[in-house]
């Protein structure tokens, strides 16, 4: 008899509770504007071969081509006019191919960036790294002046694309300098990756 009462109470509880489910169980379709955050990266690879002690390698890259912002936005379904900001979010580096010399190490490493024929600006400063093993990405110590330079190029890129113009002066020359120890010709590959963060709005339809 007690079980009967319990189950009748359960039925009553269900009848009382269910009308309050109108929100949960009556989904609506709503259009919303959300802010999509996208990431992109820009990589400069260096091959260091034959240098003894003093390393000085350069790489010139077209940032607009390397990032391909229109393609990125197209894939994400974001119109260029809806992009609110694009900035540098960080940098990381890794050894892609190890140096065969035991205990090979790069010290006093610096990477500078030069936009076109503009001033040479430090972007990564004072790093050291063992290069006789392949590594995963490590966060690079950044210089504020270099970050400001990249942010300016990114802002110019966005401005040009929003205006429907071809971006100009997007070429950056990166130079890696440093010393290697022990003294012997180097033979390794190393890459620097600059990460970019982009935010833009997109309209979505959500069933909730």
Partner 1 sequence: MRLRIAGTLALAAAVGMGWAPPAGAQLEENLGALSGDNAKGYLGPLPKALSGTLNTSIFQTGFVPRSGFTMTVGARLMGMTFDDEDRTYSPKDPPGFTSTESVRAPTIIGPTQAVLQNGQSGTVLYHPSGFDIEEFAAATTQVTIGSVLGTRAVVRWLSVNFTDDDIGKFTLFGIGAQHSISQYFSNLPVDLAAGAFYQTFDVGDDLVQSKALQLNVTASKAYNWLQPYVGVGYDQLDMEAHYASSTGGGTIDVDFDTETSAHFTVGAQAKLAVVHLYGEANLAATNGFAVGLSFGNGF
Do 195 and 89 contact (CB within 8 A), yes or no? Answer: yes
Residue 45 engages partner 1 in binding (rule: CB under 8 A):
no
Q: Which is nearer to partner 1, 52 or 76 (CB)?
A: 76
In angstroms, give the least distance from the CB of 183 to partner 1: 32
Residue 206 engages partner 1 in binding (rule: CB under 8 A):
yes
Q: What is the DSSP letter of 141?
A: P
116-155 residues near partner 1, rule: CB under 8 A: 136-144, 146-148, 151
Residue 110 engages partner 1 in binding (rule: CB under 8 A):
no
In angstroms, give the least distance from the CB of 150 to partner 1: 9
Q: Which of 66, 80, 82, 90 binds partner 1 (CB under 8 A)?
A: 90
| CB proximity list for 16: less than 8 A, separation 6 or greater | none
Give the orientation angle of helix 144-162 with respect to helix 69-76, to 10 degrees: 70
Picking from 20, 88, 45, the residue whose alpha carbon sits closest to that of residue 176 is 45
Q: Which is nearer to partner 1, 40 or 104 (CB)?
A: 40
Residue 195 engages partner 1 in binding (rule: CB under 8 A):
yes
Q: Which is nearer to partner 1, 37 or 52 (CB)?
A: 37
- The strand pair at 83-97 and 105-115 is best described as unpaired
**65 token code pair:** 């081509």
**Strands ordered across the beta sheet of 120-130:** 54-62, 171-181, 105-115, 120-130
**117 token code pair:** 């024929």
Residue 109 engages partner 1 in binding (rule: CB under 8 A):
no
Residue 19 engages partner 1 in binding (rule: CB under 8 A):
yes
In angstroms, give the least distance from the CB of 11 to partner 1: 3
160-189 residues near partner 1, rule: CB under 8 A: none
Candidates 20-28, 112-120, 161-169, 172-180 — which segment interacts with partner 1 by CB under 8 A? 20-28
How many residues are there in the chain? 208
Q: Which is nearer to partner 1, 67 or 106 (CB)?
A: 67
Q: Which is nearer to partner 1, 183 or 207 (CB)?
A: 207
DSSP 3-state helix, strand, coil percentages of the chain (rounded to 5)?
25, 50, 20
**115 token code pair:** 């936009």
């Amino acid at each position: 008899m007690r079980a009967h009462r319990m189950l009748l109470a359960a039925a009553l509880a269900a009848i009382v509770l269910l009308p309050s489910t109108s929100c949960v169980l009556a989904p609506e379709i709503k259009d919303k504007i959300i802010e999509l955050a996208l990431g992109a990266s820009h990589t400069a690879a260096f091959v260091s071969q034959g240098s003894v002690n003093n390393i000085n390698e350069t790489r010139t890259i077209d940032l607009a081509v390397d990032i391909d912002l229109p393609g990125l936005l197209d894939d994400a379904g974001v119109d260029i006019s809806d992009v609110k900001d694009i900035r540098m979010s960080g940098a990381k580096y890794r050894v892609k191919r190890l140096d065969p010399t035991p205990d090979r190490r790069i010290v006093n490493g610096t990477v500078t960036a030069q936009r076109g024929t503009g001033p040479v600006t430090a972007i990564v400063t004072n790093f050291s790294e063992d290069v006789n093993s392949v590594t995963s990405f490590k966060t690079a110590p950044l210089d504020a002046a270099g970050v400001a330079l990249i942010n300016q190029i990114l802002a110019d890129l966005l401005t040009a694309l929003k205006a429907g113009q071809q971006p100009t002066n997007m070429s950056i020359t990166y130079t890696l300098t440093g010393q290697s120890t022990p003294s012997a010709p180097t033979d390794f590959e190393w890459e620097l990756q600059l990460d970019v963060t982009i935010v833009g709005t997109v309209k979505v339809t959500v069933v909730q």
